[in-house]
Amino acid sequence: MDLRALGESFIAMLENWGVPEGWVLLINWLLGAIILLAIALLLAIFLIWFERKVAGRVQDRLGPNRVGPFGLIQPFADAFKLLTKEDITPDSADRITYNLAPIIAVFHIIMLFAVIPFADKVVGANINVGLLYLLAFGALGTMAMLMAGWSSRNKYALLGGFRVVAQLLSYEIPVGLAMLIVVLLSGTMNLNGIAQGQGGAFGLGWYVFVLPAVFILYFVAALAEGERAPFDLLEAESEIVAGYNIEYSAMKFAWFYLAFFLNTWVLSAVAVTLFFGGWQGPFADQFPVLGVVYFFIKVFIMFFVFAWVRATFPRLRIDQMMSFCWKVLVPMGLALFLGVAIVLKLGLPAAITYALLFVVNVVILVATLKLLGNYTKDLSHNKNKRLFAPELPRL
């Protein structure tokens, strides 16, 4: 079954009914938007269950197991509970900003769904600037959290807001660099084009095999962009209680919760599209519907890794996290960018270029790890010194 043909036959049917052309287009777009919205919201409910179950298993607990088979209905029960809870707005809160923040938080994530290619050419909006679009609307999330932190009139919420800016703005740079390197190699910013460029037999064309260090760079930075442990400083319970969303209750809190899980899913989907071939897989060319299946399987594996990391690692300190971004990830990203650009400029045949790119990636990754290792080894002799202590040059 061809998803594309299904859409076209639907358009043809509407035209046969005598619907004017402009309206057909409008109905088509609205339907697409509603389908994407429904997918996003259904996904969120399943993702919450999935993540809780994974975290439970990793930490030797059971996870949700009371409501429905394997506790599958648990998120619905939670949603109903949140719906029936009292909606509290702090007296001194800035009402409009306070109410707008959760809306924007969910809005910007749902907007991101528009450019994700679920299968070949099955995209909400197949725009040429797909990656820039992801970065642009991803940046809106920062604004939503800042609004939430400021309008709550709570000092912990405000501290959470400060951390949002510090963390999300800093980690956007490694994410952007990783995306830029992929754009260098694929020659397009269209997400479907990037997925198409990773054909190759047996998945060897996947960029993760060509650019392993870039994938690791993206993955680590995405952990921070998704506010997930070990980088979940935004809601560090032991330091600032819950961060920017501390004053939110009932459904407004649920919106932030929803945005959090969907954000991780989108980050996984982007990782799959950029590095794991997107919808590519055996026979995906003949049966495009298989592409959707492959895409979702890959994204869920990726999401599982995100959940796994979150359930395993303890939280870093805020200064460690910031230093790690600026002193390790950004230089590594710049070195990778330079290396990849030089190799691509040599103009060698494809196979040799790919091999060289792989070598460059491994060399830079090993060098980064070696330097980091030496640094921590030096520190272990000097017990008083903090890891990644902020040091300013004496001028």
Partner 1 sequence: MVEQILFLIIAAFTLLMGLGVVIARNLFHAALFLVGVFFGIAALFILLEAEFLAMAQIIIYIGAIATLIVFAIMLSKGMMGRESGAYNKQWYFAGGAMIFFFGLVSWLLAQMPFVITNASVPDDAIQQIGQGFVGHYVVPFEVASVLLLVALVGAIMLARERNS
Chosen residue from 19, 27, 143, 372 binding partner 1 by CB under 8 A:
143
CA 259, chain centre distance (Å): 11
> What radius of gyration, in Å, describes the C-alpha atoms of the chain?
23
- 371 C-beta neighbours (distance < 10 Å), count: 14
- Looking at residues 22 to 41 of the shown chain, list those that interact with partner 1 (rule: CB under 8 A): 22
Contacts of 376 (CB under 8 A, 6+ apart): 387
State the nearest-atom distance from the C-beta of 345 to partner 1, in Å: 12
C-beta pairs of 71-77 under 8 Å, 24+ apart in sequence: 74/49, 75/45, 75/46, 75/48, 75/49, 76/45
State the nearest-atom distance from the C-beta of 315 to partner 1, in Å: 23
The CA distance from 15 to 29, in Å, is 15
Q: How far is CA 325 from CA 130, 173, 187, 284, 380, in A?
A: 25, 9, 27, 38, 21
91 binds partner 1 (CB under 8 A): no
128 binds partner 1 (CB under 8 A): yes
State the nearest-atom distance from the C-beta of 139 to partner 1, in Å: 3
392 binds partner 1 (CB under 8 A): yes
Cβ atoms of residues 167 and 233 within 8 Å: yes
395 binds partner 1 (CB under 8 A): yes
Q: What's the residue count for the chain? A: 395
The interface mask with partner 1, positions 155-184, x = CB under 8 A, is: ---x--xx--x---x--x------------
99 binds partner 1 (CB under 8 A): no
Cβ atoms of residues 333 and 171 within 8 Å: no
Chosen residue from 13, 136, 301, 352 binding partner 1 by CB under 8 A:
136
* Helical (H) or strand (E) element with 113: none
- 293 C-beta neighbours (distance < 10 Å), count: 15
Size of the site for partner 1 (CB under 8 A): 31
Stretch that binds partner 1, among 51-59, 128-136, 287-295, 309-317 (CB under 8 A): 128-136
148 binds partner 1 (CB under 8 A): no
The beta strands (E) that lie in the chain are given as none
- 21 C-beta neighbours (distance < 10 Å), count: 10
- Start-to-end CA distance of the chain, whole Å, equals 68
Nearer to partner 1, 114 or 290 (CB): 114
146 binds partner 1 (CB under 8 A): yes
98 binds partner 1 (CB under 8 A): no
State the nearest-atom distance from the C-beta of 69 to partner 1, in Å: 43
The CA distance from 177 to 63, in Å, is 37
Nearer to partner 1, 165 or 365 (CB): 165
Nearer to partner 1, 125 or 292 (CB): 125
142 binds partner 1 (CB under 8 A): yes
Stretch that binds partner 1, among 5-13, 273-281, 371-379, 387-395 (CB under 8 A): 387-395
Q: Select from 304, 303, 281 the least CA-distant residue to 292.
A: 281
Chosen residue from 49, 50, 150, 171 binding partner 1 by CB under 8 A:
150
Stretch that binds partner 1, among 69-77, 121-129, 307-315, 368-376 (CB under 8 A): 121-129
Chosen residue from 40, 147, 180, 343 binding partner 1 by CB under 8 A:
147
Residues of this chain that bind partner 1 (CB under 8 A): 22, 94, 97, 127-129, 132-133, 135-140, 142-143, 146-147, 150, 153, 158, 161-162, 165, 169, 172, 189, 392-395
